[in-house]
């Protein structure tokens, strides 16, 4: 059996859990076994499995594992200077058991990044996109015009228990779809704002897989998918 690697952001936490567990065993054995369970969860949380990313021009790949929330029309974060015209926003909610490593949604170049402090309300609420702490990136996908109308925004948003957003994206950096670019601790969401011409291919309530699930595409022209929970 192949075990996934551990994201480097998790190593200090895992080390701390191991140290506390050792102390627990000195105090009392039952408490030590509780520490073992918590350490195992910490290792599980910071897992970083490999993914197989589809290669096709015009596709937007999921940047996060989790549940797709209801899609809405909303303007991108103002700090990215992408205008006030509403775009289709696909939001993915990550609970504390999901992989939290985030991945680039497309091939392209990072045009801008911006951090904005905020609240830490439940990330599954729609208002979290406006009110919560966030780190946003504007990506110009390969082959798109330089007028900015086709740029894609990807926004990491802190949640109720998330208190740390980590991103390696920087202005001018080239990325490829599926590249790892950051992580959020511990439970949060990621929003993707689509330009005109991208057809959503996922449903609210569906689970997405970072680096693998195709969220939207410019080459597939069909009605918005519909489905039932069964």
Lowest mean pLDDT among 56-65, 125-134, 221-230: 221-230
pLDDT reported for residue 2: 65
Asked if residues 77 and 155 have their Cβ atoms less than 8 Å apart, the reply is: yes
Domain 59-217: assigned CATH number: 2.70.70
Which among 62, 141, 188, 208 is annotated as catalytic? 188
Report the C-alpha gap between 186 and 196 in whole angstroms: 33
Mean pLDDT throughout 157-168?
79
Give per-residue pLDDT as tens, 189-217.
899 999 988 999 999 999 999 999 999 99
Closest by CA to 200, choosing from 190, 214, 180, 182, is: 214
Ramachandran assignment for 160, one of left (phi > 0), alpha (psi -120 to 50 degrees), beta (any other): alpha
CA distance 107 to 224: 24
pTM of the shown model: 0.86
Per-residue pLDDT, 114: 94
Residue with tokens 């897992």: 47
Residue 157 has pLDDT above 60, yes or no: yes
* pLDDT, mean of residues 39-54: 90
Q: What is the mean pLDDT of the chain?
A: 87
Instruction: Look at phi and psi of residue 211 and say left if phi exceeds 0, alpha if psi is from -120 to 50, else beta.
Output: left
pLDDT value of position 87: 94
Do 154 and 191 form a contact (C-beta atoms < 8 A)?
yes
HSE-up (13 A, CA, CB side) for residue 84? 0
Confidence (pLDDT) at 145:
66
Cis peptide before 80 (omega within 30 of 0): no
Q: Where are the beta strands (DSSP E) in 10-94?
A: 47-48, 59-61, 66-68, 72-74, 87-94
Residue intervals of the chain classified under CATH 2.70.70 are 59-217
Query: Is pLDDT of 1 > 60?
Result: no
Interval 174-182 mean pLDDT: 93
* SS3 of residue 136 by DSSP: strand
5 counts as catalytic: no
Chain CA centroid to CA 104, Å: 9
Nearby residues of 62 by Cβ (< 8 Å), 6 or more positions away: 92, 103, 105, 202, 208, 209, 210, 211, 212, 213, 214, 215
pLDDT of residue 6: 84
Read off the tokens for 25: 């065993």
Q: How far apart are CA 171 and CA 132, in angstroms?
A: 23
Q: How far apart are CA 191 and CA 94, in angstroms?
A: 11
């Amino acid at each position: 059996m192949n075990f996934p690697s551990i994201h480097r952001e998790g190593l200090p936490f895992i080390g701390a859990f191991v140290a506390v567990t050792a102390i627990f065993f000195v105090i009392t054995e039952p408490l030590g076994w509780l520490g073992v369970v918590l350490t195992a969860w910490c290792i599980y949380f910071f897992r970083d499995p490999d993914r197989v990313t589809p290669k096709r021009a015009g596709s937007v790949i999921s940047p996060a594992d989790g549940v797709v929330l209801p899609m809405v029309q909303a303007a991108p974060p103002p700090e990215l200077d992408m205008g006030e015209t509403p775009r289709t926003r696909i939001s993915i909610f990550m609970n504390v058991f999901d992989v939290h490593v985030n991945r680039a949604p497309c091939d392209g170049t990072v045009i801008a990044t911006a951090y904005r402090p905020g609240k830490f309300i439940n990330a599954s609420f729609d208002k979290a996109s406006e009110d919560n702490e966030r780190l946003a990136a504007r990506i110009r996908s390969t082959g798109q015009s330089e007028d900015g109308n086709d740029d894609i925004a990807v926004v990491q948003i802190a949640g109720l228990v998330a208190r740390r957003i980590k991103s390696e994206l920087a202005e001018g950096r080239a990325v490829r779809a599926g590249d790892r670019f950051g992580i959020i601790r511990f439970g949060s969401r990621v929003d993707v704002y689509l330009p005109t011409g991208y057809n959503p291919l996922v449903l609210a309530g569906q689970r997405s897989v970072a680096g693998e699930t195709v969220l939207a595409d410019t080459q597939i022209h069909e009605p918005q998918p519909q489905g039932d929970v069964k």
